[in-house]
Structure 1
Amino acid sequence: MSRTQSSANGEPIAVARAADGGDENPYLLGVFAPVRDELTLDDLPVIGEIPKDLNGVYLRNGPNRQFDAPGRYHMFDGDGMIHAAHFENGKVRYRNRYVRTRAFHEESEAGRSLWTGLMENPKDNPWGNGHGLGIKDSANTDVIFHRGQVLATWYLCGTPYSVDPLSLETIGAQDFLGTFSGDMMAHPKVDEATGELIWFDYGPDQDFLRYGIIGPDGRQTHLTRIDLPGPRLPHDIAITENYSVLMDLPLVQDHDARRAGKYRIYYDRELPARFAVIPRHGNSADVRWFDAKPCYIYHVVNSWEQGDEIVMDVCRVKNPQHQTTFASPLSNMLAYMRLDAQLYRYRFNLRTGTTTETELDDANIEFPSVDSRIMGQSHRYSYNMSLGNEPTLLFDGLVRFDSLTGTKEEHKFGAGRWGAEAPFAPRDGSTGETDGYLVCFVNDEVEDRGEIAIFDAEAVAAGPIARVLLPQRVPSGFHACWVRSDQLAQSQAD
């Protein structure tokens, strides 16, 4: 095995353990603990055989803080680090690199943390995001491929950072050829049929969303304002061929906390969930609002048009409030990170104005994905993560859900083994939603190391067809994407 390694700035990186009155933070321990080194690894040990028709790169973003910070740590505080597995003709290379955000550079130069975290008062922080939220924008949440680059985004709306999909070098803050200003939410959507990137932003003090489109030439082509009853905290968006669906959900800003300079949210059960259906290039006057039962939605599976209806599948959270069932005060504060979500379908009838709601499955599954080639078109299969019955956010299995039959096929990683989001990776010449593979990182608590697991998408329950062993963990994190070899070829040509 050949390897090269370096720390992010030439100095040792702190592996921090935050405490609150002696209470160890569970998101800085075990499989969540930061890793010290940025690595490039070839000739890795393989159990099984890597398919030669699996060509592309799997990328996963997540928090991995560079320095200890004062106060209580939250997963959203950690500096973004992208981990990549590049497959080419039956071989694989692993690489991990920090996203070099503006805040990362400033703390690197200072040799210490300059920001407190999400759960602390940000009054002494150097600066925050574009909406005046004084929390460090760490670009640690999602990673999306668009126009030859990947974009690293942040949970609370931040600057999208462009990253090279192979070297993982941070190219810089993405301003879309000087046409973009402000922030971008965590989960913009790419329509591969048009080359458009659809996004919105929001803020803790603004009673509206900004909804916009980046065109296939990389310039912003559309921007409009959609008014809301008050500041909201939407996380995701759905797109169809001709429409977008934005959300006004009853998870709202605590105004008393905001006046005190803090960021705090609460779930207002008296408010309905509302969904704004807007023509893709429409304006606020074109919005149709649809009411539904109160809930929160972190992640959309997919959406499409069917006759007079917009159909939207999501992972629906019934109760996103902090839970109070754990032993320590800090664990209680962090408990809402342990999601309880079910696959759920909405139908918004554009002719009658009615909403129909249906639970598709009662299992606790999240972090969904579909074949990116058909985003915004009807799908049959989604690939999801099963949430373990643990006090922290851990994925104990992989679930392929068949929305036509309502059945699922599942693989459990095994005791003490936890996975990561597993997007669909089409094989060379792929012709369908299961004609390919699933790739994900798996952490083994017993061995204290990570691995890359590869599954046949047509036989998920059979378990991995190959496992690539890594010498260090890939800290549990957030979202992933698959970039096909044809997309990589285009990015290198550009």
Structure 2
Amino acid sequence: MASCATTPNTNSWAPFSAYSIDLGFSTPLKSLPLMKKKKKLNQKVKSAALHTPSVLHFPKKPLKPTMIPQEDSKKPIKTNPQWNLLQRVAAIAFDMAEGALISRERQQPLPKTSDPRVQIAGNFAPVPEHPVQHVLPVNGSIPECINGVYLRNGANPLFEPVAGHHFFDGDGMVHAVTIDNGKASYACRFTETQRFLQEKELGKPVFPKAIGELHGHNGVGRLLLFVARGLFGLINNKQGTGVANAGLVYFNNRLLAMSEDDLPYQVRITPSGDLETVGRYNFDEQLNSTMIAHPKIDPVSKELYALSYDVVQKPYLKYFRFFPDGKKSPDVEIPLTVPTMMHDFAITENFVVIPDQQVVFKLQEMISGGSPVIYDKNKKSRFGILAKNASDSNNIIWIESPDTFCFHLWNAWEEPESDEVVVIGSCMTPPDSIFNECDESLESVLSEIRLNLKTGKSTRRPILSETDQVNLEAGMVNRNRLGRKTQFAYLAIAEPWPKVSGFGKVDLSTGDVKKYIYGNGKYGGEPFFLPNDAADCKNEDDGFIIAFVHDEKTWESELQIVNAVNLELEASIKLPSRVPYGFHGTFVDSKELVNQA
């Protein structure tokens, strides 16, 4: 996503050589000569490219590159020993077909939104796993009230892309900083999804990338290959295809990693501060559909609210909730005429607020050579207001909000005196600019949207003044006041897009914004607000902002802890590994960990 002109060679790719499928004959039969050895960079560093030449080029830098052990290139990648002759022949045929697809794709220029040289350049590039490391250097003093684990999810592709790749396509990796009485430790681990485990075992990517690869006729071809490999038993495509790289939530004593294309995955925090994947989590067989990566926990009832959307068949959208003990409510089908991207939603004290916006899925567009993610200008954006405890959607209230696309909603609340529901979100234009290449520059405007339940009308206004306007994306309000009126929001300053140069503390009523900038050449991600839960803390902004920050000059990363009241740096924790720019995080208090499942 950033320019790769100054990118050190610290990317980490799984070892991968040309495929060698053993058919049971005396000599292994190579299916495709998919990779040639790269020149060594003073060390045995190996690429996971499926094809040569690589689509990525990393200039040499006087920095120590990530070490990846060199495998014996003569050793064939192991295949499933239970494959029969037919399956092995089919595997060869499918690999050949995939090679032809790759060659065809490389004859055409990639748009920036699916060009890996753009999407995962610089500090968007992946890193290897890092086992827990204790007693990290700390500058300043970690506040005594902070004890627990800060975790942040992100996309970290195991294999080097062979063609199209979007930043959102990468395998999920969770970075964790444990703080215990002023001391800190760090670890990062892949979330071992079914997709990840199968591809790691096969030594190559076989699951299609939802955004980077599923375009046009080549996308149709990749889908057909995926289905065919499943039919021949070469892969198991019945246990989910998600990457669990977007959201994190701690609910009912479980840490869940999520992406909206699958069920959540449970990740366990070990006593030492390391991470281990427990597995795909269906809430004790209660959940049999996907769940979006932004569920909401009501701070009073402790219930978890969520949505599930389907891009293929009706119902295109379902709403459900979980009680604090983990019991699930029945699904409520929400009537939509077309499958619609539903990345986020909001809750109030009594309602869920569901955005039905203009970014939709039209899989048939792939047949005509286009993208299945479409900005439908003829569709009118609207918000659905539904009672939290609704058993059906009969009483949902739809209110139109023209030309509104909020990728994220930060909060919502009720104002009974005016019969309004107030929604706070970042309105993005062009709506599909994250997914499809656009000539127009992306803008993300923090906005207040008022939905009048009595008149059915809406209004929308920018919260910041025109002179203060900056792109604000990724952030939160005080989670102890979610669904209730809040004064402040803490949001990433996404400039220069898509990097994050700091965060803003925004007064939602006045539009006043106070900025905290990470420093020259330093960039971060989502600012996580951790409230100070001490009994004598009454103010909404009494707490701390926690964020990973990366120095692009020294190629080092740190965790910064900032006082949310005065925006003064309290402490910075030097990390032993580079932390790529990522997505969303959470904090698990040490008291909560005592009862972790």
Shorter-chain TM-score tier: 0.7 to 0.9
Deviation at 1:262, TM superposition (A): 7.8
Query: Following superposition of structure 1 onto structure 2, how do residues 235-254 of structure 1 map, counting pairs within 5 Å?
Result: 235-254=343-362
Q: Which residue of 1 aligns with 2:423?
A: 312
1:293 aligns with 2:402: yes
1:209 aligns with 2:301: no
Cα RMSD (Å)? 2.8
The one-letter code of the counterpart of 2:555 is D
Q: Bigger shift: 137-146 or 40-49?
A: 40-49
Deviation at 1:433, TM superposition (A): 2.3
SS at match of 2:501: strand
Q: Which residue of 2 aligns with 1:31?
A: 123
Q: Which residue of 1 aligns with 2:387?
A: 279
TM-aligned CA distance change 1:317 to 1:24, over 3 Å: closer
1:410 aligns with 2:515: yes
8 Å CA contact 1:70–1:116 kept in 2: the answer is no
8 Å CA contact 1:144–1:152 kept in 2: the answer is yes
Q: Which residue of 2 aligns with 1:160?
A: 264
Q: Bigger shift: 33-42 or 285-294?
A: 33-42
Deviation at 1:309, TM superposition (A): 1.7
The one-letter code of the counterpart of 1:67 is F
Deviation at 1:206, TM superposition (A): 3.5
Task: Tell me how far apart the structure 1 counterparts of residues 370 and 281 of structure 2 sit (CA, whole Å).
Answer: 28
Task: Tell me how far apart the structure 2 counterparts of residues 338 and 410 of structure 1 sit (CA, whole Å).
Answer: 23
Q: Which residue of 2 aligns with 1:327?
A: none
8 Å CA contact 1:151–1:163 kept in 2: the answer is yes
1:444 aligns with 2:551: yes
The counterpart of 1:218, out of the listed 326, 334, 347, is 326
Task: Tell me how far apart the structure 2 counterparts of residues 77 and 336 of structure 1 sit (CA, whole Å).
Answer: 23
The one-letter code of the counterpart of 2:428 is V
Task: Tell me how far apart the structure 2 counterparts of residues 350 and 333 of structure 1 sit (CA, whole Å).
Answer: 35
Q: Which residue of 1 aligns with 2:453?
A: 350
1:378 aligns with 2:471: no
Q: Which residue of 2 aligns with 1:170?
A: 277
Q: Deviations over 1:362-384 (max 9, x none)?
A: 32101120111111111111110
Task: Tell me how far apart the structure 2 counterparts of residues 134 and 217 of structure 1 sit (CA, whole Å).
Answer: 26
8 Å CA contact 2:545–2:562 kept in 1: the answer is yes
The one-letter code of the counterpart of 1:264 is P
Deviation at 1:273, TM superposition (A): 0.9
User: Identity across aligned pairs (percent)?
Assistant: 31
Q: Deviations over 1:289-346 (max 9, x none)?
A: 00012131111110111112211111111312349xxxxxxxx956799852111111
Q: Deviations over 1:44-63 (max 9, x none)?
A: 12221212222222111001
Q: Which has the higher strand share?
A: 1
1:119 aligns with 2:224: no
8 Å CA contact 2:241–2:261 kept in 1: the answer is no
Q: Which residue of 2 aligns with 1:328?
A: none
Unpaired runs of 5+ residues, structure 1, are 1-6, 324-331
8 Å CA contact 1:346–1:357 kept in 2: the answer is yes
8 Å CA contact 1:55–1:427 kept in 2: the answer is no
Q: Bigger shift: 35-44 or 242-251?
A: 35-44
The structure with the largest alpha-carbon Rg is 2
8 Å CA contact 1:176–1:214 kept in 2: the answer is no
The one-letter code of the counterpart of 1:473 is R
Task: Tell me how far apart the structure 1 counterparts of residues 146 and 560 of structure 2 sit (CA, whole Å).
Answer: 13
Question: Relative contact order (C-alpha < 8 Å, sep 6+): which is higher?
Answer: 1
Task: Tell me how far apart the structure 2 counterparts of residues 187 and 467 of structure 1 sit (CA, whole Å).
Answer: 28
Task: Tell me how far apart the structure 2 counterparts of residues 82 and 172 of structure 1 sit (CA, whole Å).
Answer: 14
8 Å CA contact 1:322–1:336 kept in 2: the answer is no
Task: Tell me how far apart the structure 1 counterparts of residues 328 and 471 of structure 2 sit (CA, whole Å).
Answer: 38
SS at match of 1:471: coil
SS at match of 1:178: coil
TM-aligned CA distance change 1:334 to 1:116, over 3 Å: farther
Q: Which residue of 1 aligns with 2:563?
A: 456
Q: Bigger shift: 169-178 or 427-436?
A: 427-436
8 Å CA contact 1:212–1:222 kept in 2: the answer is yes
1:359 aligns with 2:359: no
8 Å CA contact 2:319–2:334 kept in 1: the answer is yes
Q: Deviations over 1:21-52 (max 9, x none)?
A: 69761222210111123231211122212122
TM-aligned CA distance change 1:186 to 1:277, over 3 Å: same
Task: Tell me how far apart the structure 1 counterparts of residues 307 and 490 of structure 2 sit (CA, whole Å).
Answer: 25
Deviation at 1:420, TM superposition (A): 1.6
Query: Following superposition of structure 1 onto structure 2, how do residues 479-494 of structure 1 map, counting pairs within 5 Å?
Result: 479-489=584-594, 491-492=595-596
The counterpart of 2:444, out of the listed 335, 341, 344, is 341
TM-aligned CA distance change 1:63 to 1:302, over 3 Å: same
TM-aligned CA distance change 1:337 to 1:188, over 3 Å: farther
SS at match of 1:305: strand
SS at match of 2:447: strand
Q: Which residue of 2 aligns with 1:103?
A: 195
Deviation at 1:241, TM superposition (A): 1.3
TM-aligned CA distance change 1:105 to 1:168, over 3 Å: same
SS at match of 2:331: strand
Deviation at 1:205, TM superposition (A): 2.5
SS at match of 1:441: strand
8 Å CA contact 2:430–2:440 kept in 1: the answer is no
Query: Following superposition of structure 1 onto structure 2, how do residues 59-74 of structure 1 map, counting pairs within 5 Å?
Result: 59-74=151-166
Deviation at 1:473, TM superposition (A): 1.0
The two structures have a TM-score, normalised by structure 1, of 0.88
SS at match of 1:94: strand
TM-aligned CA distance change 1:427 to 1:322, over 3 Å: closer
Unpaired runs of 5+ residues, structure 2, are 1-11, 17-44, 57-105, 110-114, 214-218, 231-236
The two structures have a TM-score, normalised by structure 2, of 0.73
Q: Which residue of 2 aligns with 1:465?
A: 570
The one-letter code of the counterpart of 1:228 is L
Q: Which residue of 1 aligns with 2:499?
A: 394
Q: Which residue of 1 aligns with 2:69?
A: none
The one-letter code of the counterpart of 2:360 is V
8 Å CA contact 2:241–2:262 kept in 1: the answer is no
TM-aligned CA distance change 1:170 to 1:431, over 3 Å: farther
Task: Tell me how far apart the structure 1 counterparts of residues 47 and 319 of structure 2 sit (CA, whole Å).
Answer: 39
TM-aligned CA distance change 1:28 to 1:338, over 3 Å: farther
8 Å CA contact 2:294–2:343 kept in 1: the answer is yes
Q: Which residue of 2 aligns with 1:426?
A: 531
TM-aligned CA distance change 1:275 to 1:288, over 3 Å: same
Query: How many residues in Structure 1 have an aligned counterpart in Structure 2?
Result: 469
Task: Tell me how far apart the structure 2 counterparts of residues 337 and 162 of structure 1 sit (CA, whole Å).
Answer: 40
Q: Which residue of 2 aligns with 1:3?
A: none
Q: Deviations over 1:199-257 (max 9, x none)?
A: 11112223531111112111211311111121211210111111101111011223432
Task: Tell me how far apart the structure 2 counterparts of residues 478 and 119 of structure 1 sit (CA, whole Å).
Answer: 18
Task: Tell me how far apart the structure 2 counterparts of residues 356 and 70 of structure 1 sit (CA, whole Å).
Answer: 46
Task: Tell me how far apart the structure 2 counterparts of residues 105 and 262 of structure 1 sit (CA, whole Å).
Answer: 31
Q: Which residue of 1 aligns with 2:84?
A: none
Q: Deviations over 1:166-223 (max 9, x none)?
A: 5421121111111110111121111132121111111222353111111211121131
8 Å CA contact 1:15–1:35 kept in 2: the answer is no
8 Å CA contact 1:426–1:484 kept in 2: the answer is no
Task: Tell me how far apart the structure 1 counterparts of residues 239 and 329 of structure 2 sit (CA, whole Å).
Answer: 29
